[in-house]
Amino acid sequence: MPTKALVVDDSPVTRRIVSIVLNSQNIPCKEALNGREALEILNWDPSFGLVMVDWNMPEMNGMDFLAEVKRQPKFEHIKIIIVTANDTPEAIEEAQKAGADDFIIKPVYRDVVAKKLQLHGLN
């Protein structure tokens, strides 16, 4: 059974683009508007294998979402990739220290996502 992905971003356009890219890799997706909504989805269905989450969002940003997911052992199987326009070394280091499995710089490209999926054994 293929990995299911949860795409979390406050931008509907970005959510759709990331979902299309993941679907092209045969990964079914569900979308969430922010970290709070994503946590509700994961609590209802913890079988997702991947979450691609935007860093900057209202209500609950990607880093707060990451911290909450990492606190809960029932989510330890989920790979989390932070997606952001912030490409500074400090941002990448902060995401890694917080427990992100990987980091993608916007805009999101199919070949970059495919490489990340392969790296993490998700395709």
| pLDDT of 39 higher than 60 | yes
- The 10s digit of each residue's pLDDT in 77-116 is 999 999 999 999 999 999 999 999 999 999 999 999 999 9
Give the DSSP H or E segment for 69.
helix 62-71
Residue given tokens 């294998």 in the structure block: 49
| Predicted local distance difference test score (pLDDT) of residue 1 | 54
- Using pLDDT thresholds of 50, 70 and 90, give the confidence band for residue 48: very high
Identify the structural domains of the chain with CATH numbers, from first to last.
5-119 (3.40.50.2300)
pTM for the model: 0.94
CA distances from 61 to 34, 110, 120 (A): 7, 24, 23
